[in-house]
A and B are shown apart, each in its own frame.
Chain A
Amino acid sequence: MITIDNILETNRMITENKLDVRTITMGISLRDCAHPNIENFCRNVYDKITKSAEFLVKTGEDIEAQYGIPIIHKRISVTPIAIAAEACKTDSYVPVAETLDKAAKEVGVNFIGGFSALVEKGFTNGDKILINSIPQALATTDVVCSSVNLGSTKAGINMDCVRQMGEIIKRTAELTRDQDALGCAKLVVFANAPGDNPFMAGAFHGVSEAEKVVSVGVSGPGVVKHALEDLKGADFTEVAETIKKTAFKITRVGQLVAREASRRLGVPFGIIDLSLAPTPAVGDSVANVLEEMGLERCGAPGTTAALALLNDAVKKGGLMASSHVGGLSGAFIPVSEDQGMIEAIECGSLSIEKLEAMTCVCSVGLDMIAVEGDTTAATISGIIADEAAIGMINNKTTAVRVIPVPGKKVGDSVEFGGLLGRCPIVKVRNNWSSEAFIARGGRIPAPIRSLTN
């Protein structure tokens, strides 16, 4: 039996606290598209995507209307192109990225992810071609997202790839400099990347996934913040309980949307990703949730503990609300997409080092951080190595999405627009070089905790 209070609460969450479903993401396997001729391969890919996702956007819009819950994005993830395209006799996968872009625009989705390679242990020929194609691919497409997994708890860290990705990020920034290095906002470097993540830029359709699946990513930091506003001075047990209950409600909405989307599209339900994904809108901020717990500003001592509690309580509450939970599932801490994080950087309470500490307990990693344009490739590789190490040792997903904006200095800021938001240039301690460390290459061996058998 639902009560008037229930109805008012749900509608308040949607209208005032910006509760939304961030994305319905359709994962599509491209493993059956292989062909030695790249033109044939691209045709197979285009046909498969446009046929599979023909009704994805319309279905999303119908569900949105039916329940009165905004569904912000509709997206597609595909098999990592380094695998799908490997049979092609070619030295560049840029035409494949262009095909993905065209297919995504044809069906009207916001992003398509999967221009990806999984190289934590080493490179195949396809992996090498893909990684070298990334800068050009991101410069010539609009909605294609790219990711590279270069470390895992099981395999260790591919330091050759770490070195290379520093250079690839710099090159991508250079090729998209007229858009303030927007290409780098669509490129993420992972350790322990999940194959069922519906969020961009890191979504790809993992090799162990079914032919097609529909997954849903929820959002709702504003709802959690609102729930905590009534708990001034309450102890942490009560704070955790309240977050759990709120996460349950948010996730149930995601579950409803996923079930409906799966039924209407005739595609199996994959997972719900429980992540609290912020947006640049005022009041939709993870930083503000941490501040609501009693921190004057995000970044003050205690921030990591607050985030650990939030991340854990979100998972506990969300787990029971959905039949299958997966993806990244936690609290995201992107800078440019979160008004509270932006303000914390601007007022000096939050630094990249504190963000790194926070990535030990958040759902992913260093996300959407703009840095000075002259940050060297080796420094960026150093940042990537640190994050990959945190992921490898702690058996969690970590990632780096940094944007070295050409011509920008600390004190400047950069506007990406839409969900990607705005970012003040974040200071990196690059007075000291990581050059010789990164130049070593090779592999950091898998940690002792990989030997679990």
Chain B
Amino acid sequence: MKLVVTTVGKDRVGIIAMVSNILAENDINILSVNQNIMDGFFNMIMMAETVGKDVNLPELQKLLRAKGQEQELEIKVQNQEIFNIMHNI
């Protein structure tokens, strides 16, 4: 399953490391990273892919939401298909 992980919030040290670690622990391979800082706000979109067995998405979402809240970040993970279907004919 291909996934899109979006992370938005106040910039600080270690955000990419934290998100990447969680993905790695869940056997999710990062395909591309797009990240910038706008007005002090951290924006990152990762394209990723599950390796082997599909991940339990609700569980992963819960984990990322909780970790994100600790650091005042909003982290979303979605199946990539919703973007494909909306923007491609």
CB distance from B49 to the nearest CB of A (A): 14
Q: Which of A9, A10, A255 has the most CB of B within 10 A?
A: A10
| CB-based contact A2/B78 at 8 Å | no
Pairwise interchain contact B87-A2, C-beta atoms closer than 8 A: yes
- Chain B residues with Cβ under 8 A from A11's Cβ? 6, 76
- Most chain B beta-carbon neighbours within 10 Å: one of A3, A252, A255: A252
| Interface pair B85/A6, CB less than 8 Å apart | no
Residues 1-47 of A contacting B (Cβ, < 8 Å): 1-4, 6-11
Asked if B71 is an interface residue, CB under 8 A from chain A, the answer is: no
The residues of A that contact B87 with a CB separation of less than 8 Å are 2-3, 6, 9-10, 249
Q: Are B61 and A65 in contact (CB under 8 A)?
A: yes
Shortest A181–chain B CB gap in Å is 40
- A91 at the A/B interface (Cβ < 8 Å)? no
Interface bits A57-80 vs B (CB < 8 Å: 1, else 0):
000001001111100000000000
Complex Cα distance A223/B36, Å? 26
Closest to A69 in B: B82
Asked if residues A65 and B86 are in contact (CB atoms below 8 Å), the reply is no
Interface bits B45-89 vs A (CB < 8 Å: 1, else 0): 100000000000110010000000000000011111111111111
From A6, A8, A9, A66, residue with most partner B Cβ within 10 Å: A66
- Residues in A with CB closer than 8 Å to B85 are 252-253, 255-256
User: Which chain A residues numbered 242 to 277 have a C-beta less than 8 Å away from chain B?
Assistant: 249, 252-253, 255-256
Inter-chain CB contacts under 8 Å: number: 53
| With contact pairs A7-B45, A67-B79 given, residues A252 and B57 touching in the complex (Cβ less than 8 Å) | no
Please give the number of chain B residues whose Cβ is less than 8 angstroms from any Cβ of chain A in the complex: 21
* Whole-angstrom CA separation of A8 from B88 in the bound complex: 15
Across the interface, B79 reaches (CB within 8 A) one of A2, A66, A252, namely: A66
| Residues A256 and B82 in contact, CB atoms below 8 Å apart | yes
Taking residues whose C-beta sits less than 8 angstroms from the other chain, chain A's interface range is: 20 to 34
Main secondary structure of the interface of A (DSSP, over half): helix
Contacts of A256 in B (CB 8 A): 81-82, 85
Which of A1, A253, A320 contacts B82, CB < 8 Å?
Answer: A253
Nearest residue (CB) in B for A64 is B58
Q: How many angstroms between the C-alpha atoms of A252 and B81 in the bound complex? A: 11
By a CB distance below 8 angstroms, the chain A residues around B79 are: 66-68
CB < 8 Å neighbour of A253 from B4, B61, B86, B89: B86
B72 → chain A closest CB, angstroms: 17
Q: How far is the CA of A398 from the CA of B81 in the complex (A)?
A: 36
> Which A298-332 residues have C-beta < 8 A from chain B?
320
Kindly state the separation between the CA atoms of A23 and B1 in the bound complex, as whole angstroms.
Answer: 25
| Cβ–Cβ contact A252 & B58, under 8 A | no
CA gap between A62 and B79 in the complex, in Å: 12
With A4-B45, A249-B87 known as contacts, the answer to whether A10 contacts B82 (CB < 8 A) is yes
Q: Are A68 and B58 in contact, CB atoms less than 8 angstroms apart? A: no
Complex contact B86–A249 (CB within 8 A): yes
Contact A252 B76 (CB under 8 A): no
A7 touches B6 (CB 8 A): yes
Q: Are B86 and A10 touching (Cβ within 8 A)?
A: yes
User: A67 touching B82 by the CB < 8 A rule?
Assistant: yes
CA distance A255 to B76 in the complex (A): 22
Q: Please, which residues of chain B bring their CB within 8 A of the CB of A69?
A: 82
How far does the alpha carbon of A253 sit from the alpha carbon of B45 in the complex, in Å?
21
Task: Return B23 CB to nearest CB of chain A, in Å.
Answer: 16
In the bound complex, what is the Cα–Cα distance between A252 and B85 (angstroms)?
A: 6
Q: Which residues of the other chain, B, contact A253 by a CB distance below 8 angstroms?
A: 82, 85-86
Chain B residues within CB distance 8 Å of chain A: 4, 6, 34, 45, 57-58, 61, 76-89
Chain A to chain B contacts (Cβ below 8 Å), 19 pairs: A2-B84, A2-B87, A6-B87, A9-B87, A10-B86, A62-B58, A65-B57, A65-B61, A67-B78, A67-B82, A68-B78, A68-B82, A69-B82, A253-B82, A253-B85, A255-B85, A256-B81, A256-B85, A320-B89
Interface residues of A (CB under 8 A from B): 1-4, 6-11, 62, 65-69, 249, 252-253, 255-256, 320
Given A3-B87, A4-B34, A256-B85, 6 other A-B residues pairs in contact with their CB atoms under 8 A: A2-B84, A7-B4, A7-B83, A10-B82, A65-B58, A256-B81
